[in-house]
Amino acid sequence: MDRRQFFKFSWGAVGVTALVSAVGVSLAAVIRFLTPSVFYEPPQSFKIGNPGDFPFGPPTFMVEEKIFVFRERDKGFAVASAVCTHLGCTVAHFSSDQKFHCPCHGSVFGADGAVQHGPAPRALDWFEVTQARDGQLRVDKDKVVAPNYRLMV
C-alpha cells in the first residue's frame, strides 16, 4: 500500500465510521425517545384496604388491580395475579373446582396457580402482601413470592 492508497483508505474508513456512528446514535436516540420516561399508569405497589374488608372463603377479585385476594382462616392473606401468563387475558376463579380459568386460550391453573392445562408457559404470579403502618394491606406487584406465602394479621 503506497501513501496515496493509505490516505484514500484512511479517509474512507473515517467516513464510514462517522456515518455508522451517526446512524447508530440516531437510532439509539429514537428508541430512547420512544421509551417513556414517565409511565402514567397505576403504581405497582398499592393499598387494597383493611384486613376486615375481605371475607373468608372465595377470593375477592379486584377489577382495576387485576388481582385475587385470598383470606383463609388460621392461614392469613395471599394475593394472586389475575393476568394469564400466556397472553395477558384476565383469568376467572371458579369456586366449583377452586381453579383459575383463562377465557382466551383455555389455560387452567390449579388452586396454587400451577398450570394444569392449556398453553400457559408458567404458573400465575403470587404477589407480596404486607400490612402498612395504618393497618391497611399493601400489595407489591414487583415482588413475586412463592405460592405458599401468607400474611397473618
Partner 1 sequence: MNPIREIWQSIVRRDPLSTDKGKSELVFLNVWLHIHPAKVKRENLKFRHSFYLGFITFFLFLILITTGIALMCYYRPYPPQAYQDMKDLQFVVFMGPFLRAMHRWAAHGMVVCVFLHMCRVFYTGSYKKPRQFNWVIGVLLLLLTLGLSFTGYLLPWDQLAYWAITVGTNIGSYAPLVGGQLRELLLGGHSVGEAALLRFYVLHVAVLPSLLILLTIVHFWRVRKDGGLSRPVWKLKAEKDAQLVTIGAPTETAPLQASAASSNKTYGLMEVVTGKPIFETVTPEEEEDTVFSYPYAFVREAVTLMATVTTIMLISLFFSAPLEELANPARTPNPAKAPWYFLGLQELVSHSALLGGVVAPGLMVLALIAIPYLDRNPSRRPGERKWILWLFTFFVVANLALIVVGTFFRGPGWALVPPWVHVVGGTE
Determine contact, residues 54/71, Cβ cutoff 8 Å.
Answer: yes
CA atoms within 13 A on the CB side of 44: 8
Shortest reach from residue 57's CB to partner 1, in Å: 21
Question: Using the rule CB under 8 A, is 35 a contact of partner 1?
Answer: yes
DSSP state of 132: -
Residue in 2, 3, 4, 39 binding partner 1, rule: CB under 8 A: 39
Q: Which is nearer to partner 1, 139 or 151 (CB)?
A: 139
Within positions 124 to 153, which residues make up the interface with partner 1, using CB under 8 A? none
Strands annotated E in the chain: 45-49, 60-62, 67-72, 76-81, 92-94, 99-101, 108-109, 115-117, 126-131, 137-145
Q: Which of residues 46-105 bind partner 1 (CB under 8 A)?
A: 63-64, 66, 86-90, 101-105
Q: What residues make contact with partner 1 under the rule CB under 8 A?
A: 31, 34-36, 39-41, 63-64, 66, 86-90, 101-106, 118-119, 121
